[in-house]
A = this chain, B = another copy of it.
Amino acid sequence: MPTIVQKFGGTSVADAERIHRAARRAILAKSAGNDVVLVVSAMGHTTDHLVDLARQVARKPSKREMDMLLATGEQVSIALVAMAIQEAGHSAISLTGAQAGMLTDSSHTLARIKSIDTSRLRGYLAEGKIAIVAGFQGVDPSFNITTLGRGGSDTTAVALAAALKAETCEIYTDVDGIYTTDPRLVPQARKLDRISYDEMLEMASLGAGVMHGRSIELGMKYGVPIHVRSSFTDMPGTMIMNATPDMESISVRGATLKRDITRITLLGVPNRPGIVAGIFEEVARRGIFVDDIFQNAAAATEATLGFTVTHDDLDEVRAAAADLAKKFAITQQQVEPGLARVSVIGVGMRSHRGVAATMFQALARASVNVENITTSEIVISVLVRDSEAERALQVVHAAFGLGG
């Protein structure tokens, strides 16, 4: 019997009515002749409420105890979803991460799945039960409760789908699929029927928020087709899958915008071995996350080193830049906040020429000044002023005919 994994996010189980809707979907898939495993997140704002409770008790709660606390959110959801399926006259059983055999390492709040013992789960499926598994959580080898960090329930769902060799992993969410770009910024944005794992990974890391990178990587590694769709309609959503030849006939699949970027430029960096490494060690030590790095060749003894960061506290970034200049005998440092990155993504770029030219022409026609350019195999990104960012996204989206 084919197996389907269905994952319901927090908004899809936020109240009794939505829980019954999720239950009906599971029953429909079961009645269609599938073994069905549900993975559910904590209801609505439960996690926020629990985090708030912890903050009332401790300034800096220990990570192990945060995991113990937060894991209750999904446990409430699985029990309620199981009750809803039973209420509709079907057989169901809920399982915590531990009961579902989700073995992780011991990195509390950011644990990684080491292995999944699906024997108990398979037993219930063989009995004809719909199994409901708590997303986001697992146990370490010492039986401590762990959680998987942001996007953890998606990771649980895709990992279970891989372990059970499921036909598909359906991700039910409050949007109806993956779009060519953010429809709030570009009304012409169009829902995609399909997108490759590679493209989705880049979209996710460049600002498209629907799914977390880790679950997409897992899907790619184990070849699990991931169907992102709405929990409120029956319309098909977007299938994340391996690229097919006809998917590569289109050069650009989507476009993204990432805001609040600050560029730091260090002028006259002494051209000695170890200096660049020293600079980035220092930046990392301060907890500042570096996005992109670009270095211009200059005089033989000096170089210009630029990098972008997305850090909340601009004063910290300025202080860091000043300290770097002093510490490494750098002539001059510039800190430019208020930048944004516009990117186009497509596996078709590998075989299509002229993608960069089309992008730059569109931006030039719209008089958008390009501050910087970075490229990878399936991505072209430009840095622009934040005030011009939405316009830049719109013209690029139109230039590649991505609109509906």
Residues of A within 8 A of B (CB): 15-16, 19-20, 50, 53-54, 56-59, 61-62, 64-66, 68-69, 71-72, 75-76, 78-80, 82-84, 86-87, 93-94, 96, 98-99, 143-145
Contacts and interface: CB of A to CB of B under 8 A. Distances in A.
A19 B75 CA distance: 23
A276 to B, nearest CB: 41
Copies in the complex: 2
Contact of A69 (B68, B80, B87): B80
A96 B75 CA distance: 13
A127 to B, nearest CB: 13
Contacts of A83: 54, 57-58, 61-62, 65, 69
Given A72-B75, A75-B72, A99-B143, A80 B64 contact: no
Contacts of A96: 68, 145
11 contacts: A53-B80, A58-B84, A58-B87, A59-B87, A65-B83, A65-B86, A68-B94, A69-B76, A75-B75, A96-B145, A98-B98
Contacts of A98: 98, 143
Nearest to A56: B16
A62 B82 contact: yes
B79 A68 contact: yes
Most chain B beta-carbon neighbours within 10 Å: one of A50, A68, A72: A68
